[in-house]
Amino acid sequence: MSVLSRDEVAHLAHLARISLTDQELDLMATQLDAVVDAVAVVQSAVTADTPATSHPLPLTNGWREDVVQPGLSNEAALSSAPREEAGQFRVPQILGEEP
């Protein structure tokens, strides 16, 4: 059973600013019908006693506790830099703009 007409698919394509040929419109109407049918099958599986879930398996937080640790000093971070300027990494210019 066709849920979306060819004209509705053409209208959707127009809204999305997509140019489709007549063949593509026919194909898209068929493919979108298959998607709508698949969604209907999933919706029919949900009953009143089906709990809402975001994931089929229970999830636990796998994160570690946030512990403050000392980082690198500026000198240590810049110790292996090929170029350094004013305490910062100096990198080659890539956009062709004047410094």
Q: Which of 23, 24, 7 is nearest to 15 (CA)?
A: 7
Read off the pTM: 0.45
- The CATH number of the domain holding residue 35 is 1.10.20.60
How high is the pLDDT of residue 97? 67
Give a yes or no: residue 67 inside a domain: no
Say whether pLDDT at 1 is over 60.
no
Give a yes or no: residue 12 inside a domain: yes
Give a yes or no: residue 79 inside a domain: no
> pLDDT digit string (tens) for 49-98?
877 777 888 888 888 888 999 999 999 999 989 999 999 999 888 887 66
Give a yes or no: residue 13 inside a domain: yes
Range of the domain at 31: 6-45
Give a yes or no: residue 51 inside a domain: no
Tell me the DSSP string of 12-73.
HHHHTT----HHHHHHHHHHHHHHHHHHHHHHHH--TTPPP-SSSS-----PPP--------
Query: How many domains does one find in the chain?
Result: 1
> pLDDT digit string (tens) for 19-37?
999 999 999 999 998 998 8
Give a yes or no: residue 98 inside a domain: no
Give a yes or no: residue 80 inside a domain: no
Say whether pLDDT at 2 is over 80.
no
Give a yes or no: residue 65 inside a domain: no
How high is the pLDDT of residue 56? 80
